Structure 1
């Protein structure tokens, strides 16, 4: 594996790319954003923090999995079926086929899906490979839904030059990337930790019963309390991964010969519940407030600027698991950890300091999924110094800064930014001052027109 090392000037740069979330043909704007960010940052490492694959894309309709362990294509989401019809994609099925014929057909479909995954990887990795920058990837809650699980995706990533995902790690997406000192001594001066944060919570008593599109009326009323794609809540790191957070520090300390934990930053997809501690509860109609999700539903939140860095952005609720498995406590107990950064919530880009750690986000860098305005989609840059890795500097490299105000398809981005799926998201939209002003203005004009009509009718 390629060794990572601080530069001669003591610096080391990392780019975090979150939620590419695309199908086989990656959006040109996404590729352009990645290319411009790599050119601007001149990074030493790129980390992908999950949901690189848009697993629910119609391209994967025949092998789609709502949950691991299901029959491929057995329970396709209604929204995927609708999108497939709009794009003219038809499902392949042979109800009269023999078991052997059905298996052969499935094997062929899985091979086709593997090729589609390779096309996706080749699309967003292209600018990184061209620049000769090493990269690493962990996984989110949508990657596996294409039908190819994380262990096999790991193998596919390793087909590309520069991939640092190790074979034989604790689990796919959980591994350490030690960064050696600039003096060539081999001492580990810092480590980047990649953590697989899981995908969905498992409830053996209800799995397959509550996750169905008949829930839609209840979903419209309370989309954050009951998510059709996530009726049992999001997943968490495994107990083995939590234990690893400590044992890997022991290993690095032993490697250095002093037994001390090394300064470390962790990257994963789904944020733990402590991210809510970067926020403060606010009155329901506070401008730009967002309603909490699931265990935090019924409460509205805004950024707590006393703990958040300047430039932080909150655009949606924190999509954490219902259960707190003690990941932050495990990091603090292990020592050395100074930050945890996530993706998952496409509109969030804040960094707060709570529980002795920096907790932060990168928003989506993709243009095929929901997210903020084009100019706010971006990639997070970290600049570390060997003398004090915890004193790092971070900033967003956004489309607006690197390319321009608008993307090549602003109509699509506008709908992705203003996507309303239920009463909660409608209320969040109304809390946006510009949206409220436009609707209030339209209603005022409508009221004036009605008054004029009544006056004219009396004449």
Structure 2
């Protein structure tokens, strides 16, 4: 496992990706392209969602999935960093639009007061700023001198956060780096909460060999570019914003693009409540990608879109295993529609999509330039279906640091593309139980997180599982998890 800060020398680091024994065939060939076997493989990892010390079981799953699939590329689809972890208390941001004082020690007030205010929400969910009553509500607002003192300390706190985030990234990337597998990263609704914006995190990821995330400063989305230091010197990248870019995958000779990978930052939270949507720039970029690549593409992002509900079937609330919908859909309960989803799919919680449809699916459908969209975010969901000719899929968490399905069901998702029909990939979940076996660390904690309700509606969902109350196990597990991990939420 990598613990030390990696070198910033892109040339030195990329040399290992040119070695013949690199697991990724594309790394050996210098670009993302099909093998002579006619195959190309992508491994999706979602919701590592852990603090500075990543669970050893998470690392074991990532390593075993890489060995089992030998992917050309790994795509991380957000919430790699549990930004709410106590380690980031001093730089914690609950929402992007809240004041910069959410987690800062100032004027002799404790970190817990600031973070507590951010978590509980003041004045409709926002912490008050200078000139008003202080955030803790126990005295006058800090003076200008006190804020200046806090600013000086904040820079030190941010540097400490960067080091902790770098340490976390080094751990879950170590199986990839050891095997010579390049990777691409987008972000979720928890990454930024550590206090770093996506551009800062992008820069940290680029310190590691194999990172294909391009620098997005003054990006020109329609102009192809290379990514120095990625170890794939011949790979073309189209950059839009941090966490939003496109990667073409070429044929055996690198003469034409066979399909593309659209990596999209799907946003985090909406000011009106619920989850956010991709930026306008990202949506515009999505409309341009098919023409830029001259082929169809698949989208990878964190938050699912409302059309995922089209793969479900409404059922009475008394139906065993029924799942209550999320927010705009919470008046109904659902199960998977077997006529629209693949065998082996499962639904473990409501689909946490934005309340309003931003038009992303319509952009994909209207352009006729896409064949699928896969997301993470909902840790207990693992399904694939087809809606209006588009593959839609949910990938469960691969992490052991937050809530999710039972340990054996935590997984990575493999995609195998065949050059004879590249827009209809074969996909399957590579599950911990099959690849590794039983968790080796914090077994009771992991069990509790597997049975912990992630919301009020989820608590009711758990009660619909036949036998879940037998012996009071679900109640005890939920209580245990609340005591040990009350802040490790979706």
Q: Please indicate the TM-score interval, normalised by the length of the shorter structure.
A: 0.7 to 0.9
Cα distance, 1:65–1:423 mapped onto 2, change above 3 Å: closer
Partner of 1:126, secondary structure, is helix
Aligned mates of 2:116, 2:345 — CA distance in 1: 34
Please name the residue that 2:241 is paired with. Answer: 171
1:181-231 CA distances to partner (integer Å, 9 max, x unpaired)? 11232x11111110110000124xxxxxxxxxxxxxxxxxxxxxxxxxxxx
Kindly report which structure 2 residues correspond to 1:360-375, keeping only aligned pairs within 5 A, or say none.
360-375=393-408
Residue 35 in structure 1 maps to residue 63 in structure 2: yes
Task: Determine if contact 2:290/2:370 at 8 Å carries over to the other structure.
Answer: no
Residue 433 of structure 1, CA deviation? 1.6
Corresponding residue for residue 263 of structure 1: 296
Mapping for residues 116-155 of structure 1, pairs under 5 Å: 116-155=164-203
* C-alpha distance in 2 between matches for 1:142 and 1:272: 18
| 8 A contact 1:193–1:265 mirrored in 2 | yes
Q: 2:277 matched to 1:236?
A: yes
Matched, 1:11 2:39: yes
Structure of larger gyration radius: 1
CA distance in 1, matches of 2:95, 2:323: 28
Asked if 1:327 is matched to 2:378, the reply is no
Q: Number of matched residues? A: 393
TM-score between the two structures when normalised by the length of structure 1? 0.82
Q: CA deviation at 1:423?
A: 4.4
Q: Alpha-carbon deviations, 1:347-391, whole Å to 9, x = none?
A: 000001012201101100000000000000010000001221122
Residues 128 and 78 of structure 1: CA distance in aligned 2, closer, same or farther (over 3 Å): farther
Structure 1 residue 180, shift from structure 2 partner: 0.9
Which residue is 2:252 aligned to?
A: 182
1:195 aligned to 2:257? no
Distance 1:76 1:61 in 2: 6
Give the CA RMSD over aligned residues: 2.2
Residue 355 (str. 1) matches residue 388 (str. 2) = yes
Q: Which residue of 2 aligns with 1:102?
A: 150
Native 8 Å contact 2:94 2:119 kept in 1: no
Are the counterparts in 1 of residues 373 and 392 from structure 2 also a CA contact under 8 Å?
yes
SS in structure 1 at match of 2:448: helix
Asked if the contact 1:374/1:407 (under 8 Å) is kept, the reply is: no
Displacement after TM superposition at 1:157 (Å): 0.6
- Note the C-alpha offset of 1:421: 5.7
Unpaired runs of at least 5, structure 1? 82-94, 204-231, 254-261, 443-459
Matched, 1:54 2:82: yes
**CA–CA separation in structure 2 for the residues paired with 1:6 and 1:270:** 29
Counterpart CA distance in 1 for 2:118 and 2:410 is: 24
Unpaired runs of 5+ residues, structure 2, are 1-13, 15-29, 104-113, 121-141, 217-238, 476-490
Distance in 2 between residues matched to 1:421 and 1:410, nearest whole Å: 19
Equivalent residue of 2:386, what SS? strand
Cα distance change of structure 1 residues 421 and 38 upon mapping to structure 2, 3 Å threshold: closer
* Residue 249 (str. 1) matches residue 278 (str. 2): no
The one of 311, 315, 323 equivalent to 1:290 is 323
Distance 1:306 1:77, change over 3 A: farther
